[in-house]
Amino acid sequence: MGADMSSTPVLSPRQMRRIENLPEDYKVVNTRDGVVILRRADGQLLRMQPDGRLAPNLSVERVQDYLRVQG
Q: Would you say residue 18 lies in a domain? A: yes
Q: Would you say residue 66 lies in a domain? A: no
Number of domains in the chain: 1
Q: Which domain, by its residues, includes 33?
A: 10-56
Q: Would you say residue 17 lies in a domain? A: yes
The Cα–Cα gap between 71 and 58 comes to 25
- State the chain's mean pLDDT as an integer: 78
- How does pLDDT run across 5-20, given as a tens digit for each residue? 455 568 889 999 999 9
Q: Would you say residue 19 lies in a domain? A: yes
pLDDT(67) > 60? no
Q: Is the pTM of this model over 0.95?
A: no
Q: Would you say residue 35 lies in a domain? A: yes
Q: Would you say residue 52 lies in a domain? A: yes
- How does pLDDT run across 41-55, given as a tens digit for each residue? 998 899 998 889 999
Q: Would you say residue 43 lies in a domain? A: yes
Q: What is the 3-state secondary structure (H, E, C) of 2-71?
A: CCCHHHCCCCCHHHHHHHHCCCCCCEEEEEECCEEEEECCCCCEEEECCCCCEEECCCHHHHHHHHCCCC
> What percent of the chain is predicted at pLDDT more than 70?
68
Q: Would you say residue 61 lies in a domain? A: no
pLDDT of residue 17: 93
